[in-house]
Structure 1
Amino acid sequence: MNVGAHRIAPSANVSPDGWLRRYPATAGVRRRLLVLPHAGGSAGFFHAWGTAFDSGTEVLVARYPGRHDRLGDPCITTMEELADRVSEAILPFHDVPLSLFGHSMGASLAHEVALRLGRRHGKHPAALHVSSRRPPHRLTPRALHEQGDEALIAEMRRLGGTAEAVLRDPDLREIVLPAIRADFTIVGTYGPRAADPVGCPVYAYIGDEDPGASVEDMSAWSDVASGGFQLDVLPGGHFYLVDQHESLVRSVLARLHSADDGSRRP
């Protein structure tokens, strides 16, 4: 299957409400993938995903407030509000099968969005893809958001994925730290909860050297899977998805195509 890493796509655009960066399909939309970034992350981190799939796949990436061109928008500090806002933003995009992919904090967010879409709107996703994050019933939150800036920076360095130049530069740190602290407040206050099924297949991904979650942890996502479960273990740490970009995209794309064959719910 051609991953489509070099396809030429129209320029990305932003949804009217500002919550989604949209990478249009080039040959008619047959399916959509919503990508939910990690704590401290932004839509820009997943820019390469916008043209990484085939011509029938439209990619949507969540734009959290308080960063980049949403720098002036107040940060959100609870999972409940963030999941509510993302769920509302994605409602107009259910005319074709919609799958969710969340990395780290984004995996918890993807699970919450999937639950809201099913319970409130009767629109189950075609599939839930979760990366580098323990499932809801195995979470052990840490109160890093209650500590000083240096503790947050140390955690960002431990996990990787943030340019060292950003963490070292005092001016850049002043810009990015409010959003990082807001995201770690979400993570730190989102405690263990029931393993509520999402009404669709679940696919889990993890690096074999991830310091924040284990293969056993990721296997427990099967407890929320209603339509089958698979786990991929790839080489790397918490941000394995950078070095393993092509392998990960190939796996996700294959599962997006399988969703076309009838796994989508109303």
Structure 2
Amino acid sequence: MVILTCMGTHTKSPWFVGVPHDGPKECALYAFPHAGAGVTTVRPLCVELSGAFDAFAVRLPGRESRLEEPAETVMADLADKLAGELLHHADGRPVVLYGHCAGSTIAYEVARRLGPARVRALVVSSNPAPGSVRREPTFALPRPEFLGQVVADGYLPAQLLGNEELLDIVEPALRADYELVETHELELYERGGADPVAVPTVAVYGSDDHTVERAQLEAWSALTTGPFRVVSLPGGNDLPTSRPADLAAAIGEAVAALA
């Protein structure tokens, strides 16, 4: 009889949520969701990846079971905390970091801190390379303008804009994540771009995603001194939830090829 376990490590952390799998794997994968989101948006992907990795969704403060905790708005502080938590949680194993949309920037900053000795690969999806595009911050705009930008970015369905009760719940985490990423990426842009990391990197995008251009994914090549590739998949901006099996296969194949 196979005993399913949700943890391949000896430690537990409020930052990481695993999925059932058939025993510990040699490598752990950590999935960072998009702005304002919790683990539910990357859980289908983690399930698909659990055959090859110990897959964990990253849960940031200010959402789901951590709703009462203050959200992080300073990238350096958050990345430092995540790197320390992840290093302990992975229990000495190599890791793959995956980030979707704004989660890509967080995953990249964690990869910078852990380095190639720990990070086997960085996989990003549906997000321009940090510091490659100038965008004025929108996190402090009034609700209609701010949420309009969130919809345009693909983080919120337009049909939810009339649900004030739901918006009261999701808006604080969205604003915090927008402040976190927008201020950081503007700083990177104004100083001339982000620093490269010696970690193999894969950039994935949906062929029907109108929120990002292929050239913006190719710009990730400047952020690594290791192997790099761009992968296009059928679908739009919501690959982890709409195409989890396709995305998982692409991640597995790309990581194997880069290794």
Which residue of 1 is the match for residue 53 of structure 2?
Answer: 57
1:50-101 superposed Cα distances (whole Å, 9 cap, x missing partner): 3212534101111111111111000111211221121111012152221110
SS at match of 1:60: strand
What is the distance in 1 between the residues matched to 2:219 and 2:80? 25
TM-superposed CA distance for 1:149, in Å, is 1.1
Q: Which stretch has the larger CA shift, 130-139 or 20-29?
A: 20-29
1:28-55 superposed Cα distances (whole Å, 9 cap, x missing partner): 3221111111111111111212321253
What is the distance in 2 between the residues matched to 1:8 and 1:210? 40
1:144-190 superposed Cα distances (whole Å, 9 cap, x missing partner): 11201112221232233535565432222111111111111112212
Q: TM-score, normalised by structure 1?
A: 0.84
Matched to 2:229, the amino acid is Q
Q: Give the alignment partner of residue 111 of structure 2, picking from 81, 95, 114.
A: 114
Distance change >3 Å, CA 256–CA 227, structure 1 → 2: same
Distance change >3 Å, CA 90–CA 207, structure 1 → 2: same
Task: Kindly indicate whether residue 207 of structure 2 is the aligned counterpart of residue 176 of structure 1.
Answer: no
Task: Kindly indicate whether residue 156 of structure 2 is the aligned counterpart of residue 162 of structure 1.
Answer: yes
Which residue of 2 is the match for residue 72 of structure 1?
Answer: 68
Distance change >3 Å, CA 8–CA 108, structure 1 → 2: farther
Q: Give the alignment partner of residue 134 of structure 1, picking from 128, 137, 145.
A: 128
Matched to 1:112, the amino acid is E
Distance change >3 Å, CA 45–CA 243, structure 1 → 2: closer
Which residue of 2 is the match for residue 219 of structure 1?
Answer: 218
TM-superposed CA distance for 1:201, in Å, is 0.8
In the alignment, structure 1 segments of 5+ residues that lack a partner are 1-6
What is the distance in 2 between the residues matched to 1:13 and 1:166? 37
What is the distance in 2 between the residues matched to 1:206 and 1:199? 22
Q: Is the 8 A contact 2:41 2:240 kept in 1?
A: no
In the alignment, structure 2 segments of 5+ residues that lack a partner are none
Q: TM-score, normalised by structure 2?
A: 0.86
Identity of aligned residues (%): 27
Distance change >3 Å, CA 181–CA 97, structure 1 → 2: same
SS at match of 1:206: strand
Q: Is the 8 A contact 2:207 2:234 kept in 1?
A: yes
Which residue of 1 is the match for residue 209 of structure 2?
Answer: 210
1:92-111 superposed Cα distances (whole Å, 9 cap, x missing partner): 21522211101111111111
SS at match of 2:42: helix
Q: Is the 8 A contact 2:32 2:99 kept in 1?
A: yes
Matched to 2:174, the amino acid is I
SS at match of 1:101: strand
Which residue of 2 is the match for residue 41 of structure 1?
Answer: 37
SS at match of 1:52: helix
Count of paired positions: 251
Which residue of 2 is the match for residue 237 of structure 1?
Answer: 236
Distance change >3 Å, CA 134–CA 27, structure 1 → 2: same
Which residue of 1 is the match for residue 98 of structure 2?
Answer: 101
Q: Is the 8 A contact 2:45 2:241 kept in 1?
A: no
